[in-house]
Structure formats: structure tokens, C-alpha cells
Structure 1
Amino acid sequence: MPGRAAEPPAGPLTGVRVVELAGIGPGPFAAMMLADMGADVIRVDRAAEVRPERFGTPHPDLLNRGRRSIGVDLKADAGRRVVLDLVRDADALLEGFRPGVTERLGLGPVDCHEVNPRLVYGRMTGWGQDGPNAGHAGHDLTYLAPTGILHAIGRAGERPVPPLNLVGDFGGGGMMLAFGVVCALFEARAGGPGQVVDAAIVDGATLLSTALHGLRGLGMWSGDRGGNLLDGGAPFYDTYECADGRYVAVGALEPRFYAELVARTGFRPPSGDEDARLDPDNWAVDRAAWAELFGSRTRDEWAALLEPGDACVAPVLDWDEAPEHPHLRTRGVFVTHSGVVQPAPAPRFSRTPAVIRRPPPHPGEHTDEILTELGRSPTETARLRENRAVA
């Protein structure tokens, strides 16, 4: 794009250009990940959402950080042409509409590949581009429900518990889309043509459960919710309330870690030896004893005693406490950018560090700047605004 404003190089994806058709949840998360890694991401927001009076003020949606925004009416022919002009020099496009929507807008894979055959076209949906449910609405919870994952999350004898929307929207959805797009970019830069990445939450979330399917195949995971090693069934892999009403997390699965936990707490498990502690028939009595022990001190007292070392115990911190945890603070797991504390880009790179390059933009905040980069004159930009193709 001629005239593109110079920015300090940052991240392994510096030089990659991405067009993002504005959406919510997993799509913006994928775009955020790419922007954190240095990609130049332009977010195409709806023209109707542009509020110029808000430009220059912080936008609260952190998922939109790191990119610029142009306000476009995708239903206007002139607006569609603006997007295709962006696509012409882009490496990837991300969209999260229901199947068939971008095709009806004239911005589907065929339309975009006509102007840029090497484009990676990333699609984010819950159900995927095909199948009986492909055209249906849904949310994280209803995508997890058919996969078996939701059935497995919760306490024994109780109903399944929504795991926030981290497993579906962001882990199985947005992160898989970002991974898929980078894989396709790698192949395209090796000489291959562009292609479509069909990222579906049901696919990605199910993939995240691969290890549990392996445990089931080994006979090490029952179908009973809350009755297994990793779902709160085992008393040595659970949370416990402390004397001050706060909690600690215990994850002493392996024998040597459990032995250190027992030695440092002075606990005498009612079940007895190592083999006995792994027997689900002994878990209820052991859990009661552990609960009584952890209820004898405050959370921070237990953390001071057990967190240093290999006892695998950590304090359960709230949102405000987490950034101040010594380990997280030392590693910079949280950063403050534009006055807002937020998770830092991850993972880390030894030579091409990822950074937050700019705060989340308001819709349309960079319309003039982007149109200038596309070669539009002030007169042409004014005409587009008069026709309400952009805002």
C-alpha cells in the first residue's frame, strides 16, 4: 500500500497484511493474535457504527487492539470495491459471518481470489461451512454441548458448568483460526496459491479434547462427570476453601509431587499409601481430610508455605490480584498499554518480540488514512462519504 505510515518492526509477522471484516468474539481474537505478532491488520467496521466524536479516546474492547479501522458499508457497491482494493494487496482476510453471507455481499472467496489469487481466506464459524447445523445460530455453550466436552465439566451429581467461553470461542475457535491462517500463509509464501481456512468451534474444541479421548481409550477416564483425575474427582487435583474464605488450587498428580505436598503439610492421608490414593473408592474420605486441613489456615499462609517448590499448590487469585502475582509480574504476563492493564502478547520470541502496537480503535478512526494509502484522493474520499459507502 503506497504511503503506508512507517511503524517500528515488531514480531515474526511483520510485513504480513490482514483485512478483518468486523465481527465479535473468536474472529477478533484471531486478528488480535496476528496483530500482536506484528501483522498490519485493518479492521473493516460497519459505517453505521462510526462515531467521529469518539476518535482519540480509549475504546474498551481489548480484542480490537493493535489494528486500524475503516468504516465501510459492505452493502454499497462502492464500499465493496474499497474492500476488494484492500484485499488486492493483502496476505489474508478474516471473516466470521454465517456461511454464504460474504458470497451474497460479493466478498466471498471466489470474489477475493479474483483480485488476489494468493490470498488466505480465513472463515470463523461455530458449526463450520457445511453440515446440517451450518446455517444455524449458536454460541460457545451450544457448540460445546454436542462435542462431549460440556458433559465432562462440572461436579459429580451436578449439572454441567459453562467453562466461561474460553474453551470454545477462544481456544477452539479464534486460536485455531489464527493457527490455520499462519499455516496457510506459510504454504502460500512457499509458492502455493491462496486457499480457504474453514475454522469451526466444534472442530477446534473437539481437537482440544484429544488427550481425554486417549485416556478413555486407555480405560483411565470414566463417563461420570466429576469422577476422574482432572475434573475435580481426585482430591489431589482440586480446589479447597481456606480459613479466610479464599481458595488454593492443588494439582499434585505425580507421586513425587504428592509426596512433597504430604511432607510439607504434615498431612496423613486416611487412604494410606500411593496405590490407595489412586483408588476412587478412597477419594471421598481423603477429600474430607484435605478440606479440613486447608481450612485451618488462610490462603496466603498456604501459598507462602507451599507455592515455592514442587508441591503443586497455588493461590486462586481474582482478576485484580492476578497482575500482581510475583511470577506473572516478573515475566510481564500482564502489561499496561494506553492506561489499561491487559494480557500481554504470547508466546515469546527470542529475536522478533511481539508487542501491542496501538490501542483498540473506534470504528472508522483511520478511514481517511487507509483510503489515502489505497491511492484515493481527498475528492474521491469525500465522494465516497457523500454516497455513504464509507464513514
Structure 2
Amino acid sequence: MTDAPTPPRGPLSGIRVVDLSRLAPGPYCTMLLADLGAEVIVVGGGRAGVAIPEFSRGKTHIGLDLKAPAGRAALHALVKTADVLVEGFRPGVADRIGAGYAELSALNPRLVYCALTGFGQDGPRAKEAGHDITYLALSGVLGAMGPKDGPPEAPLNLVADFAGGSLMAAIGILAAVIEAKGSGKGQFIDAAMMDGSLSLMAMHWPLWRTPHWPARGDGLLGGGAPFYRSYACADGRFVAVGALERGFFESLWRTLGLGDPPDHMRRDLWPSIARTLAETFAGAPRDHWTALFAGTDACVAPVLAPDEVWSDPHVKARHPEAGAHAVPAVPRLSRTPAVAHALDLGDRTGEVLRAIGLSEGEIAAAAVPAEAGGRSGLDWPPELR
């Protein structure tokens, strides 16, 4: 019996990340770092699992009582060995539990400290509660989404939480880690989901209230253009049409057997184009159209439900062994690829603290008390959120 091949070392191998974050953006950010080879140690406040297990692959979980001096001392000992710390508390909370930047950077001057919050560390809303939809509303993103004859619609929590939060924070962390390799100095990263959402709108600000995007639900990309929207099929499922450029539109029109393509950029023709496409797509089930457009340059694709994605031929070809939570969530690197590591939710407090030199007595004093083990998730009590 031969041993399984050893996965290649990721590009972040040798980087230790201490993760104090909860909810979604911080854990997703640190999962990306773990996929890239970083050692991620999640410091939780309980022993009953984690709030979002899907974001825990490749991570080591420990439980420290940060309300106790011994728990804080153990965190400080761990931070001395770390390159990065990520936290998602409201401003001021980390300071109260001995995990603020000033205190930790004094212990480890090369520490890259990322505070990932909704509104950032300053400003009138800095200490207010919020969720993805809150940051979308205040950054202009939500007001630009959804049909023109209905209320704005949020695209799950993908934009503010994950794109504006997790991904922007990961970029900041990577930049600071690279800089610290040369300077020997860490720094504080103020990553705000609202700021990230504002940045993601960079291309769209100039288009608002112009013929390209006159209002929500209108314009080339907002749902008004008949060649950039979804259409219902005979079986109640949908196809997505993205035939924006002339060549793509001509391919769409001719593949459907509709004759010579009209000038699709003439707005006065949009109603008739929309009617023709709607009637045509309604005449056959979705998978008929999927087969018809396969291999064409018409930018037509089936709208897949989440449980259909893993059966798609392209997804299966690129991720043949993947399940719904096992795809490395970063671009492919040719020499040091990302790896979706195994999920291990076990409590590794003892082994992690022994490895950094703590005694058994210190470990016992630092770990979360047994009676706290029933708390939901490796989660902080409400007063610390």
C-alpha cells in the first residue's frame, strides 16, 4: 500500500494566523489564507463547535477564557509566535479583552493586525450594529439592484460580507505581510465592509443616471436591456442571457433561428426584442436551450439551482472531487496551488499551547471552563460581540 502524495506547500506556508473573528466575513477571509497554506488557529470562547463549520477547513481550533488573566496570557504567548491576527469585534471590544492592537503589537512588533468590521474604526456609525444589507443600503449598492417595479433586492450576503469584507481584508493582509517581510514591522488594517462595497461600485458610479444606466432595473446591466437578463423556459426554469456585444447578440439571434439580427443597441427596439426572446425561450425547457447553445459564443447559460451546480460538466471537469464546500476559494497557482484541507473541528487547545511552551497548569487555567462547553459554537458571549 502506497502512501498518499503529500500536498504541495502553499504559498503562505510558514505564516501563522490567529483568528478571533466570528460570523461570516472574518472566517471566510482566514479560510482563504488556510487554503493558501497559512496555519490558522481559531481562538474561540467555547467547545461546542463553530458558528460556520463550512469556513473552518484547514484550521486548528482552541478555546481560551479571555475573561481570565491566564486566558489572556495564553493569547499573548500565542500572538508572539504569529504573523497575522484577524478580529471582527466592534471598535473598542478587542481592547477590553486584552486583544487590542496597541497591546498585541507591543508584544510582537511584526504583527499584521486586521480589524474587519462593518463601518470601520471611526465615523458616526463605527459602533453601530449592521449586516450585509445595511452596508449595501448605505453604499448605494442596494439602491441599484432589483427590478424597477419592485423593492431593491440584495444578492444574498455576497457583496458586503464576502467581496467587500473578506476579500478586501485578505488583500490588505497579504499586502501587509509582504511589506513586513522587508521592514520587519507589522501594521494595523482597518477593513470595513462598507468601504469595500463603495470600492466595488467604482465602475458603476459614472454610469448612474446616464443612458447606460438611467435607473434601478434599467440600462445595459441593470435588467432593462433584453439581451442581459434571465428568461423563463417551458419547465419553469430559467436561462441567463448576456449577449451584450454585437457578435454575441448575433450568435444568440441566429442560434435561435430568428433571422437577421436587429440593431440591439436601439432602445426603441428593446420591447420587441424582449417579447421575441421571451416567447422563444418559453417554447422549450431549460435543458433544451442549454444543449442548443453549448459551444456557441452567445453567452447563454442555464440558471442552476445550488444543488445542480456540482453536476454541471464544466464544474465537474475543473473540480472532479469537489463537494459543495471543498473547492479552494482562490485562483489556481501553478507551482504552489491552494488546497482544500480537511475539516477538523476538534478542540486542540492543549497541543497548541504546549507547542508554544505553556505548562499543563497554565493550559488548565487558560482554557475555557468545562461549564462553558455548552455554549452554541466556538463563539463569544453576547457582551463581547
TM-score, structure 1 normalization: 0.88
The match for 2:305 is 318
Q: Distance in 2 between matches of 1:186 and 1:390?
A: 39
RMSD: 2.3
Say if 2:355 is the partner of 1:373.
yes
Q: Report the 3-state secondary structure (helix = DSSP H, G, I; strand = E; otherwise coil) of the residue aligned with 1:32.
A: helix
Q: Report the 3-state secondary structure (helix = DSSP H, G, I; strand = E; otherwise coil) of the residue aligned with 2:189.
A: strand
* Cα distance, 1:59–1:195 mapped onto 2, change above 3 Å: closer
Q: Which of 30-39 and 352-361 deviates more?
A: 352-361
Residue pair 2:64, 2:368 contacting (<8 A) in 1 also: no
The match for 1:267 is 258
Q: Report the 3-state secondary structure (helix = DSSP H, G, I; strand = E; otherwise coil) of the residue aligned with 1:320.
A: helix
Say if 2:63 is the partner of 1:81.
no
Residue pair 1:63, 1:360 contacting (<8 A) in 2 also: no
Q: Distance in 2 between matches of 1:187 and 1:384?
A: 33
Task: In structure 1, list runs of 5 or more residues that go unmatched.
Answer: 1-6
Cα offset, 1:281, TM superposition: 3.2
Which residue type is aligned with residue 85 of structure 2? Answer: L
Q: Distance in 2 between matches of 1:348 and 1:9?
A: 13
Residue pair 1:248, 1:314 contacting (<8 A) in 2 also: yes
Say if 2:180 is the partner of 1:188.
yes
Say if 2:69 is the partner of 1:50.
no
Residue pair 1:323, 1:334 contacting (<8 A) in 2 also: no
The match for 1:285 is 272
Cα deviation, 1:306-339, whole Å, max 9, x if unaligned, reads 1322011011111111011111111118714xxx
Residue pair 1:71, 1:390 contacting (<8 A) in 2 also: no
Q: Which of 115-124 and 184-193 deviates more?
A: 184-193
Q: Distance in 2 between matches of 1:201 and 1:235?
A: 32
The match for 1:179 is 171
Q: Distance in 1 between matches of 2:274 and 2:74?
A: 62
Q: Distance in 2 between matches of 1:288 and 1:186?
A: 54
Residue pair 2:71, 2:367 contacting (<8 A) in 1 also: no
Aligned match for 2:284, one of 297, 303, 312: 297
The match for 1:3 is none
Residue pair 2:68, 2:366 contacting (<8 A) in 1 also: no
* Cα distance, 1:371–1:264 mapped onto 2, change above 3 Å: same
Q: Distance in 2 between matches of 1:10 and 1:133?
A: 42
Say if 2:225 is the partner of 1:234.
yes
Residue pair 2:65, 2:368 contacting (<8 A) in 1 also: no
Aligned residues: 368
Q: Report the 3-state secondary structure (helix = DSSP H, G, I; strand = E; otherwise coil) of the residue aligned with 1:18.
A: strand
Aligned match for 1:101, one of 70, 74, 93: 93
Cα offset, 1:36, TM superposition: 0.6
Cα offset, 1:210, TM superposition: 0.8
Which residue type is aligned with residue 340 of structure 2? Answer: I
The match for 1:247 is 238
Say if 2:331 is the partner of 1:347.
yes
Cα deviation, 1:184-243, whole Å, max 9, x if unaligned, reads 1111112251111111011101111111124349x4533411111112111100111111
TM-score, structure 2 normalization: 0.90
Cα offset, 1:361, TM superposition: 1.6
Which residue type is aligned with residue 47 of structure 2? Answer: V
Matches within 5 A, 1:87-236: 87-216=79-208, 219-236=210-227
Q: Report the 3-state secondary structure (helix = DSSP H, G, I; strand = E; otherwise coil) of the residue aligned with 1:380.
A: helix
Cα deviation, 1:120-148, whole Å, max 9, x if unaligned, reads 00011111110000010010001110111
Cα deviation, 1:70-101, whole Å, max 9, x if unaligned, reads 10111111111111111101110000000010
Cα offset, 1:10, TM superposition: 2.7
Residue pair 1:156, 1:227 contacting (<8 A) in 2 also: yes
The match for 2:10 is 11
The match for 2:55 is 63
Which residue type is aligned with residue 50 of structure 1? Answer: R
Q: Report the 3-state secondary structure (helix = DSSP H, G, I; strand = E; otherwise coil) of the residue aligned with 1:207.
A: helix
**Which portions of structure 1, spanning 4 or more consecutive aligned residues, are displaced by more than 6 angstroms?**
386-391
Which residue type is aligned with residue 343 of structure 2? Answer: P
* Cα distance, 1:98–1:377 mapped onto 2, change above 3 Å: same
Q: Which of 371-380 and 177-186 deviates more?
A: 371-380
Task: In structure 2, list runs of 5 or more residues that go unmatched.
Answer: 1-5, 374-385
Q: Report the 3-state secondary structure (helix = DSSP H, G, I; strand = E; otherwise coil) of the residue aligned with 2:43.
A: strand
Residue pair 1:117, 1:194 contacting (<8 A) in 2 also: yes
Residue pair 1:18, 1:93 contacting (<8 A) in 2 also: yes
Which residue type is aligned with residue 250 of structure 2? Answer: A
